[in-house]
Amino acid sequence: MDTPLPLCAANLPAIAGRARVPAYDRGRLSAGILHFGIGNFHRAHQALYLDDLFNAGLDHDWAILGAGVRPADAEMRRLLAAQDYLTTVVEQEASASAARITGPMVGFLEPGDTAAILKALADPAIRIVSLTITEGGYFIDPASGVFDPDHPEIRADAAAPDDPKTVFGLIVAGLKRRRAAGTVPFTVMSCDNLPHNGAVTRDAVTGLARLLDADLAAWIADNVAFPNGMVDRITPATGERERQLLADDYGIADGWPVFCEGFRQWVLEDRFPAGRPALERVGVEFVPDVSPYETMKIRILNGGHAVIAYPSALMDIHFVHEAMENPLIRAFLDKIEHEEIIPVVPPVPNTDLAAYFRLIEERFANPKIGDTIRRLALDGSNRQPKFILPTVADRLRQGLPVAGLALEVALWCRYCFGTTESGATTAPNDPNWDRLTAAAAAARNDPLAWLAMEDIFGDVGRSDAFRSAFAAALTALWRDGTGEVLRRYVEEG
């Protein structure tokens, strides 16, 4: 193919021969959504649904204005601004791939420009503030599972409410301005992969507001909507591999393209007092209660990711599809899902859970995605309490065995020791890595040292049944190795 064309608005006519381009006039878009966290998942999911909507000729006053608070947001802004806020999304299935250019973003506020962000939050045209800030970005106390008002960043925002640094400090300050001006409050919509993500977001916003002004907190609780939603699309991180694939296969030069699977799903509670785009026209499912859908997804899919992540990492497997090609790991996933996870997932309307898992297996095995085991193993100290331990707790309450899930937790512990089975060093992969490696080292001789992290394990770590199963699994891993322990577990029964 010829020299790759740089992605920008001026090059769209030429790029149209290589990828699908927006069919709408981007000059007619106006922002109705301010989104914090312009990462890969947002651009493969929420932004893509809006792109579909705009391509259908609908709701052009619901474009996205980007915002962020992290240092990485500044680099994303720089790259996207250079290409007129356009993104290449490459959807990949085992038998086919397709590229499209999406353009629902009309601007990206400078991270750290508090005045500009607060001005936008106070603008009546902004009727939804959405967030993709990762599971660990909500200031949740792992021990209690609720918002932590004593977190240093929250305390800093409480001490300087006119110069907030967190997403929640900015949201509170924006709502305060709207209340003072008599402007209808915006809806706050989390797009993160959290159980009850709307309720978690509400707790963070009202919890911080309560530190500042009890009346403001009460007004937010009474007047601001925080719909829960379930989001799903496997979206790996972008690296040089993806940039080169885009250049080689499609002749497009994009500073931060997004590669993802073809599958996507968004189930959302229809609570938007200030209005919303007609997302039901492009595949979003609006329901009265999203809880069954999010529990299904978080436990079966995200829990499944955790199940394969740690044994694969210990066995030096790099890609997720390669893990699914390993008979032991695939059988390990299948057995835990069918015997321990799926049996305690509550029923979901019009959904066959076994069929849902079969679809997940196909998605994990997609060789085109290039999703990495390291991404799946990231941030276990935040993810295990959300994706794995609730299933363990349900099984313990019902008096059911937990051997497979105890082995999963033991594999996480062994991973956090910091070396693979071959002796290769595992690079830090958790905000609490130093603490985890110290606990994993202590647990080599005293397995219960791992469960002593009460802020992570809570009641599960105090259960005699779980303690016994975990200790046996970890002891076996150190004595016999990952492959042999997996083989015995898979062959039992």
pLDDT value at residue 145: 78
pLDDT value at residue 486: 98
Q: Copy the structure tokens of residue 336.
A: 């835990």
Q: What is the CATH number of domain 5-287?
A: 3.40.50.720
Nearest-CA neighbor of 225 among 175, 261, 267? 175
pTM for this structure?
0.88
Domain ranges of the chain: 5-287, 291-491
Burial class, 162, CB count within 10 angstroms (exposed 0-12 / middle 13-18 / buried 19+): exposed
Query: What's the Cα-to-Cα distance from 173 to each of 35, 67, 183, rounded to whole Å?
Result: 16, 15, 13
Q: Copy the structure tokens of residue 489.
A: 């577990």
pLDDT value at residue 344: 98
Q: Copy the structure tokens of residue 386.
A: 């959300």
Element (H, E) at 65: strand 63-67
pLDDT value at residue 194: 87
CA distance 70 to 74: 7
Q: What share of the chain is helix, strand, coil (3-state, %, to 5)?
A: 55, 15, 35
Q: Could you report the average pLDDT of every consecutive run of 10 residues in the chain (493 residues)?
A: 90 96 98 98 98 98 96 94 98 93 98 97 98 92 85 96 96 98 98 93 98 97 98 94 96 97 96 98 97 95 98 98 98 98 96 96 93 95 94 98 98 98 97 97 98 95 98 98 98 78
Q: What are phi and psi of 36, to 5 degrees?
A: -95, 125
CA gyration radius for the chain? 23
Do the domains 5-287 and 291-491 sit in the same CATH topology, yes or no?
no
Give the CATH class of 291-491. mainly alpha
pLDDT value at residue 1: 58
In sequence order, the 6+-apart residues with CB closer than 8 A to the CB of 27 are none
